[in-house]
Amino acid sequence: MPARVEQEAPLVVVANRPPATYRRGPDGRPSPVRGGGGLVSSLAPLLDGTGATWIGAAMTEVDRELAALGPRSYRGMQLELLAIDPEVYELAYDTISNATLWFALHGLFDRTREPTFNRSWRRAWDAYRALNARFAEAAVQAAEATPGSTVLVQDYHLFLTGTELRRRAPRLPAVHFTHTPFPTPEELAVLPDDVAVEILRSLGAFSSCGFHTERWRSNFAACCDTYDVSPPETFVAPLAPDAEELEHVLASERCQHHRAVLAERTGGRRTVLRVDRIEPSKNILRGFLAFEELLRSRPDLSGEVVFLAMTYPSRQSLPGYRAYRAEVERCVERVNASLGHDGWQPIQLEVADDFPRSLAALSLYDVLVVNPIRDGLNLVAKEGPLVNARNGTLVLSREAGVSAELGSDAFLVNPFDVSETAAAIGSALDLDAVERARRAKALAAVSRRRTPRDWLDDQRRSGQPGVP
Ligand code: G6P
């Protein structure tokens, strides 16, 4: 466990997504809605009431109007919304952050066609630079307004803030945390050389850079070495769910209602579950293909088991994401049409963001499938064991960052190997009660080992001068 920082420095958190976005209520006044996603749900509660500043992009029209009025108070923190020019934002978020960096960091490109770096891509790269410069400028202003501040920059949307922060404030403690995987030098080489160097130099300008696992940290170090960039201090700090908060939500009426509905829907059958954004990196298609293969090879399971898929749409402005979602829906229809019978639907796909319902499902699974092609961490794999009430087992991709922590008590799979995944789901369903209980206990213990507070403290500490 890291030692707590005695004197807590004021924090300036810089992330693409703000902790809340604003909509107009029935009375016409702007009212905040807490943002979704792992980062906001883990970090925002720790900052409530602390006076910390959170700088994020204005997401709604109302956000943009409020941004013009300057920082505002939100749950005891200072919220600074940046109204980025919509065209710049779209190029930076869609073309660079999600269609280029996300794909490069997760190894998702179908290299026969993508990526292609041309003049219009370079225009988008300029937009990404401009957006990063804007965030860095706001961070320096906020830090200067509160002397002694530490700046914590989150994720790949803001890789280029480091250079700009250093230029403007050479001595400001500034930490970058990458929530995604970091690629090997060979994988990073898919980017134009000057772009790879620009990213690494900017990360090298931070006081330190953090990652969820040693694998991503050492890939980053190897990239710095290969591209001859001087590396910053680095650290490994896996995020973990807030177990108490999960229990609190689970006990809520809404969650209990969903539990009852889901139990009725599965009709007492054994339940395989996944909970994901609809996202190519999550490998949802191969998960369903594996389930199909299992059902075809094991007639005894026909009618006896359901695959509940709690998914929710993501980044629908990108054609690749829309196409992936359509393919997922077609795959479910095909499997259900060819294998379902007598009212039994082998796969039940839900497409809506509903955290209490997902949590209810996590309390009910017999097997949780987390099979990403690659993932920085994967919080669902830790949330499941914390709330599951059935000694559920875990089928886990060896490419998920969390496999470093949970791997020894899960069924580890190569995410591309559909047959191996099918066999793992089968073995997980067949496991005897004693071994199930042993594994479930071990998975829960590891998932409980750290808290979001530990993760935040690790970042805070690593920003202090002289703390490696
Ligand atoms: C990943 C990224 C986060 C991002 C989240 C949701 O977890 O690491 O930075 O916020 O996905 O994606 P979105 O594009 O909706 O913010």
pLDDT tens per residue, range 176-186: 999 999 999 99
pLDDT tens per residue, range 345-391: 999 999 998 999 999 999 999 999 999 999 999 999 999 999 999 99
pLDDT of residue 467: 54
Decide: 314 in ligand 1 pocket, CB within 6 A: yes
378 close to 430: Cβ distance less than 8 angstroms: no
Q: What is the average pLDDT value for the chain, to the nearest integer?
A: 96
pLDDT of residue 119: 98
pLDDT tens per residue, range 108-165: 999 999 999 999 999 999 999 999 999 999 999 999 999 999 999 999 999 999 999 9
The pLDDT confidence band at residue 404, using thresholds 50, 70 and 90, is: very high
CA separation, residue 433 to residues 64, 338, 425 (Å): 55, 32, 16
Rounded mean pLDDT, 25-35: 92
* Per-residue pLDDT at 439 exceeds 90: yes
Instruction: Choose the residue to mutate in 179, 239, 455 for probing ligand 1, maximizing ligand atoms within 8 Å of C-beta.
Output: 179
pLDDT of residue 3: 42
Measure 39 CA to ligand 1 centroid, in angstroms: 8
pLDDT of residue 459: 97
Measure 37 CA to ligand 1 centroid, in angstroms: 7
Measure 445 CA to ligand 1 centroid, in angstroms: 27
Instruction: Choose the residue to mutate in 13, 14, 16 for probing ligand 1, maximizing ligand atoms within 8 Å of C-beta.
Output: 16
Decide: 106 in ligand 1 pocket, CB within 6 A: no
Decide: 282 in ligand 1 pocket, CB within 6 A: no
* Per-residue pLDDT at 417 exceeds 80: yes
Rounded mean pLDDT, 399-418: 98
* Per-residue pLDDT at 198 exceeds 90: yes
Measure 361 CA to ligand 1 centroid, in angstroms: 22
Decide: 38 in ligand 1 pocket, CB within 6 A: yes
pLDDT of residue 5: 42
ω into 115 cis (within 30 of 0): yes
Decide: 371 in ligand 1 pocket, CB within 6 A: no
* Per-residue pLDDT at 466 exceeds 70: no
The pLDDT confidence band at residue 36, using thresholds 50, 70 and 90, is: confident
pLDDT tens per residue, range 216-248: 999 999 999 999 999 999 999 999 999 999 999
pLDDT of residue 35: 79
In this structure, which residue's CA is closest to atom 14 in ligand 1?
Answer: 315
Decide: 179 in ligand 1 pocket, CB within 6 A: yes
Measure 175 CA to ligand 1 centroid, in angstroms: 19
Decide: 315 in ligand 1 pocket, CB within 6 A: yes
> Token digits for 291?
């389930």
- Coil, helix or strand at residue 163: helix
The pLDDT confidence band at residue 173, using thresholds 50, 70 and 90, is: very high
CA separation, residue 302 to residues 270, 336, 393 (Å): 11, 12, 20
Measure 377 CA to ligand 1 centroid, in angstroms: 12
Nearest ligand 1 atom, CA 154: 9
In this structure, which residue's CA is closest to atom 6 in ligand 1?
Answer: 37
pLDDT of residue 356: 94
* Per-residue pLDDT at 304 exceeds 80: yes
Nearest ligand 1 atom, CA 98: 14
Q: What is the dihedral of CA 58, 59, 63, 64, to 10 degrees?
A: 60
Query: Residue 414: is it exposed, middle or buried by C-beta count within 10 angstroms (0-12/13-18/19+)?
Result: middle
- Coil, helix or strand at residue 267: coil
pLDDT tens per residue, range 80-109: 999 999 999 999 999 999 999 999 999 999
Instruction: Choose the residue to mutate in 17, 153, 282, 317 for probing ligand 1, maximizing ligand atoms within 8 Å of C-beta.
Output: 17
Q: How far is CA 206 from the centre of its chain?
A: 22
Tell me how far apart the alpha carbons of residues 308 and 265 are, in angstroms, rounded to a whole number. Answer: 10
User: What percent of the chain has a predicted confidence (pLDDT) above 70?
Assistant: 98
Decide: 91 in ligand 1 pocket, CB within 6 A: no
Decide: 180 in ligand 1 pocket, CB within 6 A: yes
397 close to 371: Cβ distance less than 8 angstroms: yes
User: What is the CB neighbour count within 10 angstroms for residue 317?
Assistant: 11
Nearest ligand 1 atom, CA 314: 15
Decide: 37 in ligand 1 pocket, CB within 6 A: yes
pLDDT of residue 468: 47
